[in-house]
Structure 1
Amino acid sequence: MSGTVYRRTLLIGALVSLTISAPSVAFAQEAKAPDYEAIVAAPDRTDADRQADQRRQPAKMLAFTGVRTGMKVLDMEASAGYSTELLARAVGPTGTVYAQDSAAVIERFVKDRFDIRAQKPAMKNVVHVVRNFDDPIPPDVSGLDLITFFFAYHDITYMEVDRAAMNKKMFAALKPGGFLIIADHSAKAGDGINVARTLHRIEESTLKQEIEAAGFKLVAEADFLRHPEDPRDAKVFQPTVPNDEFVLKYQKPL
Structure 2
Amino acid sequence: MKIRLAFGLSAALLFAGMAHAQQSAQDQPAGDLVPPTSASDFTASQLDAVLAGSWRSATDKARDVYRHPKQTLQFFGLQPDQTVVEITPGGGWYSEILAPLLRDNGHYVAAVPAGNGAEQKRNAAALQAKFAGDAAEYGKASIITFNPKTPVFGPAGSADMVLTFRNVHNWAEAGTGEAMFKAFYAVLKPGGTLGVADHRAAQGASFESVKDTGYLPTDYVIKLATDAGFKLDAQSEINANPKDTKDYPKGVWTLPPTLTLGEQDRAKYLAIGESDRMTLRFVKPAKAPASSSSSPAH
The TM-score, its normalising length taken from structure 2, stands at 0.69
Given candidates 274, 281, 292, the residue that maps to 1:249 is 281
Matched, 1:140 2:155: yes
Q: Which residue of 2 aligns with 1:78?
A: 89
CA distance, structure 1, for counterparts of residue 209 and residue 144 of structure 2: 29
Matched, 1:62 2:73: yes
SS of residue in 1 equivalent to 2:282: strand
Q: Which residue of 1 aligns with 2:193?
A: 179
**How far is 1:171 from its partner?**
0.6
- Which stretches of structure 1, 4 residues or longer, exceed 4 Å deviation after superposition? none
Q: Which residue of 2 aligns with 1:191?
A: 206
Matched, 1:115 2:108: no
Identical aligned pairs, as a percentage?
24
Name stretches of at least 5 consecutive residues in structure 1 with no aligned partner: 1-23
Equivalent residue letter for 2:130: R
Name stretches of at least 5 consecutive residues in structure 2 with no aligned partner: 1-6, 15-38, 256-268, 287-298
Q: Which residue of 2 aligns with 1:165?
A: 179
CA contact (8 A) 1:183 1:247 kept: yes
SS of residue in 2 equivalent to 1:59: helix
SS of residue in 2 equivalent to 1:82: coil
User: How do residues 182-221 of structure 1 correspond to structure 2 at under 5 angstroms?
Assistant: 182-188=196-202, 189-192=204-207, 194-197=209-212, 199-221=213-235
Structure of greater Rg? 1
CA distance, structure 1, for counterparts of residue 71 and residue 180 of structure 2: 27
SS of residue in 2 equivalent to 1:35: helix
User: How do residues 86-125 of structure 1 correspond to structure 2 at under 5 angstroms?
Assistant: 86-104=97-115, 107-111=118-122, 112-119=125-132, 120=134, 121-125=136-140
Q: Which residue of 2 aligns with 1:236?
A: 252
CA contact (8 A) 1:195 1:202 kept: yes
CA contact (8 A) 2:156 2:189 kept: no
| Distance of aligned partners of 1:107 and 1:160 in 2 relative to their CA distance in 1, 3 Å threshold | farther
Q: Which residue of 1 aligns with 2:25?
A: none
Q: Which residue of 1 aligns with 2:241?
A: 227
| Distance of aligned partners of 1:129 and 1:141 in 2 relative to their CA distance in 1, 3 Å threshold | farther
Higher relative contact order (CA 8 A, sep 6+): 2
Backbone CA RMSD of aligned residues: 2.5
**How far is 1:25 from its partner?**
6.7
CA distance, structure 2, for counterparts of residue 50 and residue 106 of structure 1: 28
User: How many residues were matched structurally?
Assistant: 227
SS of residue in 2 equivalent to 1:206: helix
